[in-house]
Amino acid sequence: MLWQRVKSVLSQKFSDHDFKLWIEPLQCVHDDTQSIQLAGPDPYFCSWIKNNYLPDIQAALQDAGFTGKAVQLSVSQAGKAQSLLPEPEKKQNQLRLPSMPVARSTVRTLHPRYIFDEFMVGESNALAYSACEAMANGDSTLSPCLFIEAGTGLGKSHLTHAVAHYITSHSPGTRLHYVTSQQLTSEMVRSIKNNTMEHFKEKYHNQCDVLLMEDVQSLAGRTKTQAELAEALDVLMDCGKRVIFTGAVSPRHIPDMDDGVRSRLSSGLITTINPPDRRTRCLIIERKARNNKLALSGEIIEYLADRIHGDIRRVESAIIGLKAKASLHKILPNLDMAKEIVAGIIGQRQDLSAVLIRNFVAGQFNVSIEDLQSKERKKTIVFPRQVSMYLARKLTEEALSEIGKAFNRDHSTVVHSIRVITEAIVRSGSIRGQVEHLVERLKNQG
């Protein structure tokens, strides 16, 4: 049926709350090739649909194959009968609130467990957690702009999801827009193509109370998007609206970024989430095991904490693997199981060293080890040297000074090399693919 196909399209476009409140009650009374007649429960409901949802319904009808033009709205027979009830009874049955905000929030699908209570706080992330909690509560003592810098799997998405969960549940009237930088760019491109940039500007300038944007480093080189973002930020910040950004690198290290945008991103609190220490890793493993109804001994928890560093998603993968294997063999998880699971997740990572990585990269780039250890500044030598240092930091637990020794350099040179390659990966898909290929080859060594 046509209306069922249309509802299916609309359910993907709107939040569950909006869909159940405004679309689900609509009934299709009649449809043919020229028109479709929809009925709502009361006159106010039909008026609201006409003013706020009719263009979306018409677009969904076209997507569903409707070739007609007319969409008619009327009050259902049950609604007309209800309007004849005495006034006190009408008030008792009034279910719809006329104070709904004109602009609707746009929120990504939120992970149900990414809430504040499920976030494990340690020294590495305490400031970021406190700042997000304050932003969610609308604490006016904090800067209205927050930037969270963190690597993959360290919890920045967990915190932004937690902010969105808190605001939507405690202040449902707040106009919250939660997007990635890629989604913002795509939305802007569609607006330019459809000649609806005024609607785009209105949404992010005047119909936004809280803006959450992830992966800001992806804006690198996108001049038009950066200009629109700068304009929106000026409006939002001048009005004291709340803005939270996340990125893999800090604003000052994002390449090809307009200085004005960089300044705005840096105008508030910048906080970094570092990899959790061993104690925090143990607590995270305990929590995730408990969430998965998996009993782990202290020995297994400590083993996982000692072997799995950085990306917390690998902890989740280990927990799921242990649960599946224990269930398959119908026994409690043991240390041998844990070792087998961890070996599958991190491969040979624990056997890698800066020296091994240096030698491997030298062979891949057809340069000598002596070249990598020399003072040579040719690009054909400097690039593989910097890549080697970056990979040594990424794939080993060796200190910066130890990595430097493998190349006859001090720790400051290692830090510089890591920053250079990190920025190159963000800026260039070719370099990113090259580094990812090297990582894969190194993990498969031996």
* pLDDT score, position 104: 62
Give the Cα separation of 264 and 223 in Å (integer): 15
Q: Report the distance separating Cα 203 and Cα 205, nearest Å.
A: 6
pLDDT (tens digit, 9 = 90+) per residue, 332-391? 999 999 998 988 887 544 467 888 899 889 888 988 998 899 988 899 999 999 999 999
Boundaries of CATH 1.10.1750.10 in the chain? 350-443
Which pLDDT does position 159 carry in this prediction? 96
Distance CA(407)–CA(33), nearest Å, equals: 75
SS3 content of the chain, % helix, strand, coil (to 5): 60, 10, 30
Please, are residues 407 and 388 in contact by the beta-carbon 8 Å criterion? yes
At 88 the pLDDT is: 46
Q: Where in the chain is the domain with CATH 3.40.50.300?
A: 116-273
Nearest to 287, CA basis, from 122, 108, 167: 122
Residues of the chain with CATH 1.10.8: 278-346
Instruction: Identify the pLDDT of residue 319.
Output: 93
Q: At what angle do helices 313-329 and 335-346 cross, to 10 degrees?
A: 140
The count of other CB atoms within 10 Å of the CB of residue 347 is 17
Evaluate whether the domain defined by 350-443 bears CATH number 1.10.1750.10.
yes
Q: Which helix (H) or strand (E) holds 133?
A: helix 126-137
- Is there a contact between 154 and 125 (Cβ–Cβ < 8 Å)? yes
Task: List the CATH code of the domain at 116-273.
Answer: 3.40.50.300
304 with 327: CB under 8 angstroms? no
Furthest CA-CA distance within the chain: 94
pLDDT of amino acid 86: 47
pLDDT truncated to tens, each residue of the chain (446 aa)? 778 888 888 888 887 777 888 888 888 888 887 788 888 888 778 877 887 788 888 888 888 778 777 788 888 776 555 544 444 444 444 444 444 444 567 776 788 889 999 999 988 899 999 999 999 998 878 888 999 999 888 999 999 999 999 999 888 888 999 999 999 999 999 999 999 999 999 999 989 999 999 999 999 889 999 999 999 999 998 888 999 999 988 898 898 899 999 999 999 999 999 888 888 889 999 999 998 899 999 999 998 988 887 788 889 899 999 999 999 989 999 999 999 898 888 754 446 788 889 988 988 898 899 889 998 889 999 999 999 999 999 888 788 888 999 999 998 999 999 999 999 999 888 899 899 889 888 876 54
Instruction: State how far the Cα of 341 lies from the Cα of 325, in Å rounded to an integer.
Output: 9
Query: Locate tokens 């060594």: which residue?
Result: 445
Which residue from 265, 197, 255, 198 is spatially nearest to 230, judged by alpha carbons?
265
Q: Which two tokens stand for residue 433?
A: 């693919």
| Cβ 38 vs Cβ 27: under 8 Å | yes
Which of 274, 187, 272, 193 minimizes the C-alpha distance to 222?
187
For the chain, give every residue range classified as CATH 3.30.300.180: 2-84
Q: What's residue 439's pLDDT?
A: 87
**Which residue is associated with the tokens 């090399």?**
417
Spatial strand order of the sheet with 35-40 comes to: 27-31, 35-40, 70-75
The answer to whether residues 179 and 228 touch, using CB atoms and an 8 Å cutoff, is no
Tens digits of residue pLDDT in 246-286: 998 889 889 889 999 999 999 999 999 988 888 888 999 99
pLDDT for 46: 81
The confidence score (pLDDT) of residue 445 equals 57
What fold does the segment set 2-84 form as a domain?
Answer: GMP Synthetase; Chain A, domain 3 (3.30.300)
Residue 307 pLDDT = 81
Name, in order, each residue with C-beta under 8 angstroms of 67's C-beta and a sequence gap of 6 or more.
Answer: 33
What residue type is 97 in one-letter code? L
278-346: what CATH class?
Answer: mainly alpha
Nearest of 94, 55, 76, 329 to residue 194 by alpha carbon: 55
368-377 long-range contacts, CB within 8 A, separation 24+ = 372/407, 373/406, 373/407, 373/408, 374/408
Quote the pLDDT of residue 103.
Answer: 54
Q: Which tokens is 381 given?
A: 């030598």
pLDDT at 348: 44
Contact 131, 271 (CB under 8 A): yes
b/e sequence 385-422, b meaning 16+ C-beta within 10 Å = bbbbbbbbbbbbebebebbbbbbebeeebbeebbebbb
- The helix (H) or strand (E) run that includes residue 245 is strand 242-247
Whether pTM > 0.85 for this model: the answer is no
